[in-house]
A and B are shown apart, each in its own frame.
Chain A
Amino acid sequence: MTGTFVGMPAFPEAARTALADSQLRTNLARATSTIRSKRSAAVAEVAEWEDLRLAGAAIKDEVLLHLDEYLIELEQSLQDRGAVVHWASDAAEACSIVAGIAQSHHIDEVVKVKSMVTQEIGLNEALAEVGVAAWETDLAELIVQLGDDLPSHILVPAIHRNRAEIRDIFVSSMGKAGRPAPVDLTDEPAELAEAARTHLREKFLRAKMAVSGANFAVAETGTLVVVESEGNGRMCLTLPEVLVSVVGIEKVVPTWSDLDVFLQLLPRSSTGERMNPYTSTWSGVTPGDGPQEVHVVLLDNGRTRALADEVGRQALRCIRCSACLNVCPVYERTGGHAYGSVYPGPIGAILNPLLKGPGHDEQTDSLPYASTLCGACFDACPVRIDIPSILVDLRAQVVDAHRGGVPKPEAAAMKMASRTLSTSRRLRAVERLTRPGLALARRIGARAWTRARDLPDAPPEPFRRWWQRTDGGRR
């Protein structure tokens, strides 16, 4: 099974480890720059791209402001079409519902469509505990699962692996999960894909139950939508008798025609394509065709907490395109594992604290600081999530959560700096310490800076002294 993010260190420490892995750095730099170029080209083709972004943001905000109404409409539409609707307030409840459905059918294996939300709730592990194997069928998720690894990217979870590493994983681990890889398998992409296809084929044909997420859930028509590239989703959604979809409550869109906006925004933002190869939509049960038992598990797991946050709630607009990851200079160098979550990168840095709350744990509290606030993510986001502003707001929430009690060194330093900088009289007094302060920093302190960077020399006098002495350079 896959590993777990539980117990991962805070970002600065996790990043340090990742930065030292030169193979990872090379893989990431190549992959993200390729996707970046493709995205730029795909977006440049659309003259009204900015209008689409505004429309996408507006539709999502409308849903979020009336989420209760749209969810009730969705439930009704789904039920009218023969789907069973479940409500799960947290991960444990959602896992228990899915496991219960499998057990009620005496099912011991399910096939999975790529689904971030099922990773968020730890579904595979929960199913394993009750003797149900969950086979990932998306190629990258398969690589991660066979490698007993963790996903490092929302869209391309195995981005941290190159083809040679993938070949090794297939040869060593496919046999334990089913049909083994050919012994003479090379790292040619076509051969790797064929090995995965062959390995997965028997599972698609055998499985009685599939588990998916959904990119969108249309309230008006009770339709779920899965957008994918490989066709494994199509296999999972049409062959098994039982289909269970776990859907975050923020995935609702009001009407079928709203999909027009998102199906233009998503492929160009994620894979840099005009349209992705397979888009599947299904509305409940169609008698005699496809799964005859359809379940939808609507999941909260902190989303209502995020919804209550006036600055942060726009994060729930996210359509999981991963454009923000691909343009982020921090993500490019540290990779996804350093964020300790199935949602890494800029969106992960805001979503995790919003779902869990500040002060929940040190690792989550470190995420809003895993950014230089450069703003590249905001520029790339197809639904205009103002990630930098949310990051700054979350930092204030983290600081506020730790106020009271013994102040940490940083908090004490900030209080002192605030006092010093509140009047020019105090600042002038402290500026006399610039030269000795820098000399000291160069010698013993400020290792975080001086380890790899020189410090500037202290100037002969501060600007304000020059101004006063020379009357602004006139004397």
Chain B
Amino acid sequence: MKVALSVTCINDALYPETGKAVVRLLRRLGVEVDFPAAQTCCGQPMVNTGYLDEAVPLVRNYVETFAGYDAVVTPSGSCAGSARHQHALVARRSGDDRLVAAVERAPKTYELSEFLVDVLGVSDVGAFFPYRVTYHPTCHSLRMLGVGDRPLQLLREVRGIDLVELRAADECCGFGGTFAVKNSDTSVAMGTDKARHVRETGAGFLVAGDNSCLMHVGGILLREGSGVQVMHLAEILAST
């Protein structure tokens, strides 16, 4: 199976450790992913802000980059959601029938926990992370992709982990893409409540499947001097 890694624009520029963790983890599980360097961004920020025309070249680049693969794996629920639920919309907007067809034919983009549990059929990935951790289910992975408790299945098998439940876990953290700056006051109010719930667990680490949400809540936890660190799911699963 030819698998490509779509590392995401945010991870490429700001959180390369997450990308490295995915590579290391999958390698340990016997999967050598490719990183087609032509990749840039899935286009979600444009689509979700209403700039469909501006998303067209990005979707075109995405489809062309990953065309030869059987599957694409990405450490982001929101990017996987965008590829699966928004690329067809953007292609139709472009008016380019070839792009519409290419999107239809495109290999499926899996969020990491979906790939591990559904495609590789594993929940114990041989990880070791002896710390207290609390998990926040990011909204796109929870409601758009329906990953359910796959991330928790994976986390529960991590040796040494002390997994504590987060209060009001299902509630949105308040990032919401450009919402974080267009409606920054509401965004911060939501993130502050999420940060408070995180601190209440006594966990040293907040884990999630999206670095965008972690950047927002983590930014608040840092500003509060809470001592709680944020960590992407991939990095915990890659730890040994």
| Residues on B with beta carbons closer than 8 Å to the beta carbon of A423 | 38, 40, 61
- Give A183 to B170 CA distance when docked, in angstroms: 46
Question: Which residues of chain B in 135-164 are interfacial with respect to chain A, using CB atoms and an 8 Å cutoff?
Answer: 139-140, 142-144
Point out the residues of chain B lying under 8 angstroms from A329, CB to CB: 171-172, 174, 190
What 1/0 mask marks residues of chain A from 364 to 400 whose CB sits below 8 Å from any chain B CB?
0000111111111011000000001000101111111
Interfacial chain B residues near A449, Cβ < 8 Å: 180-181, 184, 219
A interface residue count range (under 10 / 10 to 19 / 20 to 34 / 35 or more)? 35 or more
**Minimum CB–CB distance for A377 against chain B, Å:** 10
Report Cα–Cα, A224/B186, bound state, in Å. Answer: 40
Partner of A375, one of B45, B57, B86, B139: B139
CA A63 to CA B43, docked complex, whole Å: 36
Q: Is the CB of A369 within 8 A of B182?
A: yes
A421 interface residue (CB < 8 Å to B): yes
Contact A431 B51 (CB under 8 A): no
Interface residues on B, range: 35 or more
A12 on interface, CB distance cutoff 8 Å? yes
Dominant SS among interface residues on chain B: helix
With A and B bound together, what is the CA distance between A464 and B41 in angstroms?
13
B189–A19 touching, CB < 8 Å? yes
**Would B189 and A418 count as touching, CB distance under 8 A?**
no
Which residue of B has the minimal Cβ distance to A17? B185
Contact of A472 among B17, B35, B179 (CB under 8 A): B35
Question: A414 touching B54 by the CB < 8 A rule?
Answer: yes
Give the residues from 384 to 434 in chain A that come closer than 8 angstroms, CB to CB, to chain B. 388, 392, 394-400, 410-411, 414-415, 417-419, 421-424, 427, 431, 434
A152-160, A172-180, A285-293, A454-462: which lies at the B interface? A454-462
Q: Which of B20, B60, B190 contacts A473 (CB 8 A)?
A: B20
Q: A330-351, CB under 8 A of B: which get 1 and which 0?
A: 1001100000000000000000
B220 touches A453 (CB 8 A): yes
Cβ-defined contact, A472 with B23, below 8 A: yes
Q: A372–B20 contact, CB under 8 A?
A: no
- Residue in B54, B188, B222 with the greatest tally of chain A CB atoms within 10 Å: B54
Distance of B99 from chain A, by nearest CB (Å): 13
Instruction: Find out whether the CB atom of A399 lies under 8 angstroms from the CB atom of B175.
Output: no
Nearest chain A CB to B81 CB, angstrom units: 10
Q: Flag if B143 contacts A375 (CB, 8 Å).
A: yes
Can you give 20 A-B contacts (C-beta < 8 A)?
A: A16-B185, A19-B185, A329-B171, A329-B174, A372-B177, A373-B176, A376-B170, A392-B47, A392-B50, A397-B50, A417-B45, A421-B41, A421-B57, A424-B38, A424-B61, A449-B181, A453-B191, A454-B219, A454-B222, A456-B218
